[in-house]
Structure 1
């Protein structure tokens, strides 16, 4: 299938420049394209997945993607889509962030020596060596102030104020496109819809700097910004952003984010974030309508994205934790899975000694008093590692320690508590 047709069916195209010309260009050539990722943190978040997966879709269609890490532009800050100026990081921090982001992109794209193997580039390579005079004379002269002021990324910031530093971001991104056009024969830039002004500015710079009579076929394509049906920002939870780094968002938390997708969003997200065929997605849409309680579409979405980002082993681990919490049988989990699944429950450090279960419940603040603890135990409301325990004088033993370090106490049906045990 034609790559553009597939993207349109998935709702992944917001704007093109020269639609027919781009379609023909992609049909006739192995096209080199790029998308930029500024290192504003030590990890990408799921908001970055759509453009990263766009590069992968083009790669699977036979084209050659470049993942451009903004080690240079990341020192400046992109004003697009923001109401205030970014906090600028120092060079050492940006370099570290750049390295981490490149590693994450390597998990999604195929970096190899094939004809369409992906490449990672860092714009610090060329922006870092530019002198101010050279930049202003050779590049800045092609940008009229009125032209720049008319761009949405600048226009939206004029009321609250925009620094000269961020004002120049458009020129730097344009320089990136020009440099990749010259050095890599890169003819297509993709990005979020908030990047449209920067992309078209880069195309204009390339055209202005070509020799007279030389044709420069360059194109731009943007994807829509993702919105959720309930009006909340995509990629945000009560705990903050959903990161691709498993140390910041565990595979279990990542899996849970996707499986808890709103019914109104799940089919759209299957189109955006998976490589399932449209026929497979259509079948899941029918299943969602006919048997919504089975949540087949949600499970498939969570499986596909978690496996792609974290690997099959992490997916199986996330599913084991999910099943254990649903059934209450937490004994099957290992220490690492306990840390993931019970990251946000109340936890207490406990020394394994001769105290009774009643005393332990009070110490861990599971019960407010010994009287309450005794009532809970006698009423069958206390579970130790998933098993009901009604012995008032019970004392924890080695067999109650998962991986020799954890015990899970549940009060009632859903109130979990994690005990970190030392002997």
Structure 2
């Protein structure tokens, strides 16, 4: 007998909070449920942190449930205050539309979005042309300001100031749930645990206006064992757009996580069976690196496909003395003329965004943490010239794990 997908999600550690745990489990076990997750297009790519929700959507769709991937072309014009200490940067309509289209394309790589087994919708369709007074009379009357102010997403902003614009966000997200219920029979909203207040408000709005049950589930944010958000690196967020973060960079990030984070990441970011995850995460000493390699390969395969995952794996192995492939390494093309007179190593590190300042580069060189073609840089005034390039390329290494190839053009 097939297991209830709720139990699968719970065993793998996804579920943080549920509005009605027993009812949701029963519902997911007896019928195909339409559910939704919202993604606000504040950027033109999703990143590693979004993937917990995407993995949940994939688990649910594989179990026969119908996802709605909601892109927030309307809500992005306001900005979600959840988890923020200041107001979000306001985007133009053109920027929001561009980002929404890119994110929809990305989501369709991981979900079947064919209009029947899965849907992609944009809340701009119903939010941007709302009649304000009608909306206040029909929807706004269902919300208590006193209750809204106790919500975590607003409480954290009260000291610095919460704009009336952002105060509307909870009502707009709740209205999304109502619209999706009316249009597609959507009964379940999913999101990160920072969305709890917004989700329960939406379920409550459906109960008040339609007299029908609606449910919410929230999931873990992807964090380290110390509670820090994963996916942020010195070079920026780990975007799933390969133009913004190479498959190799994604692979290396997961290959180098702390031992304590291996089991959690295997559970949340792969489809490996739990007995295999338990076996891998029980490895000790140097053996745990095998589990990290499998994690990095499996997740890179989900995001970028098997071919790119294999390339990233081969490149990683070659850089640790097992071969010579460098095709998937992060690289930068620089005009040959810039090296005619030479470029000092601190300027080059800045240009490659391996350091944020020359003082950081100076410190790294003094600590012995910078290598050019496997030779440790001892002199902060080292000049890189055309003579240093082999077949038109050099490899810069920062520390033990960060590699970058420079190509002259």
* Structure-2-length-normalised TM-score: 0.83
Answer with 275-284 or 104-113: which moved more. 104-113
| C-alpha contact 1:259 1:301 (8 A) present in aligned 2 | yes
Q: In structure 2, the residue corresponding to 1:110 is in which secondary structure? A: coil
Say if 1:237 and 1:35 are closer, same or farther in 2 by CA, change over 3 A.
same
Spell out, residue by residue over 1:58-117, the C-alpha distance to the aligned partner (whole angstroms, 9 max, x if none). 111110011100000011001111111111101010000000111111111122365xx2
Quote how far apart the aligned CAs of 1:421 are: 3.5
Equivalent position to 1:341, from 327, 330, 334: 330
**Equivalent in 78, 93, 107 of residue 76 of structure 1:** 78
Shift of 1:365: 4.6
* Counterpart residue number, 1:59: 61
Which residue of the partner structure matches residue 393 of structure 2? 407
> Are 1:273 and 2:269 counterparts?
yes
The one of 202, 215, 232 equivalent to 1:219 is: 215
Does the aligned pair in 2 maintain the 1:321–1:341 contact within 8 Å?
A: no
State the SS of the aligned residue for 1:14.
strand
2:290: which partner in 1? Answer: 296
Aligned to 1:170: 170
In 2: Cα distance, 1:295 partner to 1:305 partner: 15
Q: 2:321 aligns with which of 311, 320, 327?
A: 327
- Residue of structure 2 equivalent to 1:120: 120
Q: Which structure 2 residues correspond to residues 136-285 of structure 1 after superposition, within 5 A? A: 136-210=136-210, 215-285=211-281
Of structures 1 and 2, the larger Rg is shown by: 1
How far, CA to CA, are the matches of 2:255 and 2:61 in structure 1? 28
Gapped regions of structure 1 (runs ≥ 5) = 353-358, 368-381, 387-394
Q: Which shifted more, 169-178 or 271-280?
A: 271-280
Q: Is the 8 A contact 1:349 1:419 kept in 2?
A: no
Task: Report the Cα offset of residue 277 of structure 1.
Answer: 1.1
- What's the offset of the Cα at 1:328? 7.5
SS of the residue corresponding to residue 217 of structure 2 reads strand
8 Å contact 1:348–1:364 — kept in the other structure?
A: no
Distance 1:218 1:280, change over 3 A: same
- Could you report, residue by residue, the CA deviation over 1:182-210 in whole angstroms, capped at 9, with x for unpaired residues? 11000000111111110110111111112
Deviation at 1:323, TM superposition (A): 2.3
Q: Report the Cα distance in structure 2 between the residues aligned to 1:50 and 1:251, rounded to whole angstroms.
A: 18
Residues 177 and 10 (structure 1), Cα distance of their counterparts in 2 relative to 1, 3 Å cut? same
**SS in structure 2 opposite 1:160?**
coil
* Distance (Å, rounded) in 2 between the aligned partners of 1:13 and 1:383: 46
Q: Helix, strand or coil for the counterpart of 2:37?
A: strand
Shift of 1:38: 0.4
Counterparts of 1:121 and 1:98, CA distance in 2: 10
Cα 1:32–1:385, aligned 2, differ >3 Å: closer, same or farther?
same
Q: What residue number does 1:22 align with? A: 24
Asked whether the 8 Å contact 1:187–1:218 carries over to 2, the reply is: yes
* Inter-partner Cα distance in structure 2 for 1:30 and 1:37: 23
Q: Deviations over 1:353-386 (max 9, x none)?
A: xxxxxx98x835579xxxxxxxxxxxxxx99799
Secondary structure at the aligned position of 2:240 is classed as coil
What do residues 265-290 of structure 1 show as CA deviations (whole Å, max 9, x unaligned)? 0111100111111111112123x23x
Q: 1:40 to 1:384 in 2, by over 3 A?
A: closer
What corresponds to 2:104 in structure 1? 102
Give the aligned partner of residue 392 of structure 1: none
Q: Within 2, Cα distance between the matches of 1:227 and 1:419? A: 33
Structure 2 equivalent of residue 370 of structure 1: none
Give the alignment's Cα RMSD to 1 decimal: 3.0
CA contact (8 A) 1:67 1:120 kept: yes
Cα distance change of structure 1 residues 244 and 419 upon mapping to structure 2, 3 Å threshold: closer
